[in-house]
Amino acid sequence: MTTHPFDLTGRVALVTGANTGIGQALAVALAAAGAHLALVGRSAMDETRARLHGPGQVHEIRADLSSTAPLQSVVDETVVTLGGLDILVNNAGIIRRADSVDYTEEDWDAVIGTNLKSLFFLSQAAGRHMIAQGSGKIINTASLLSFQGGIRIPAYTAAKSGVAGLTRLLACEWAAKGVNVNAIAPGYIETNNTEALHQDETRRTQILERIPAGRWGKPGDLGGAAVFLASRASDYVDGVVLPVDGGWLAR
């Protein structure tokens, strides 16, 4: 029997930052497509679990990805508990805002550490497993700031530009080994990370006026792109940074 190319039944997906926002929405989409899920986050994921509807198993891993210490154990626990690892979604991230002239080294190191360093070394740990089995999908969460400069978020912009570069580099190294590495670049999505922009009426209005779709995105808007990049439908897609932005970059 031939399954639908977007079917993830029996596949094991590890999703970081799955307790809220975009990570939660990506987990919900992958579960609906049939995947088993390892949910990774610093806080309880009861809300995420309540939103999951699918035939797969769900395993929760509490881990702080601000350091590289837990990364190998996260992969190992996923493989042992769920029987493998086919899909890694690198979504965990933080943001800290300040004018560049005032930005602290502490904030720089925190953002780069979580958003770029941990992303690479978790990809490395997962990649070793996937290369050994001859298949796998890695999906990174990039950003519009992978393409643009932004303001008042220098470390975040540097990290997300780095995510785009790493996505392409790992694709070049691992595509021939059966591992597809791609990224999703969310536009302006209503999440905790963008709450400060929502509270700034001037910035909120400026942003909305530029979005051709005429609205801010919701986390669920990213689910289809994640299922595509996690599935057989994208087996010949490598090194892509896919904007899901309501047309922001087209304007």
The Cα–Cα gap between 213 and 199 comes to 21
Whole-number Cα distances in Å, 16 to 13, 25, 62, 109: 10, 12, 10, 19
* CB 138 within 8 Å of CB 173: no
Selected catalytic residue, list 103, 156, 188, 236: 156
Q: Who's near 126: CB < 8 A, 6+ residues apart?
A: 14, 75, 85, 88, 136, 138
Q: In 10 A of CB 34, how many CB atoms?
A: 20
199: left (phi over 0), alpha (psi -120 to 50) or beta: alpha
Active site residue 156: yes
Instruction: Identify the H or E element spanning 97.
Output: none
Whole-number Cα distances in Å, 113 to 24, 47, 84, 118: 21, 27, 27, 6
Exposed, middle or buried: residue 199 (CB in 10 Å: 0-12, 13-18, 19+)? exposed
Residues written for the chain: 251
Torsion (CA) 34, 36, 38, 43 in degrees, nearest 10 = 50
Which residues belong to the active site?
156
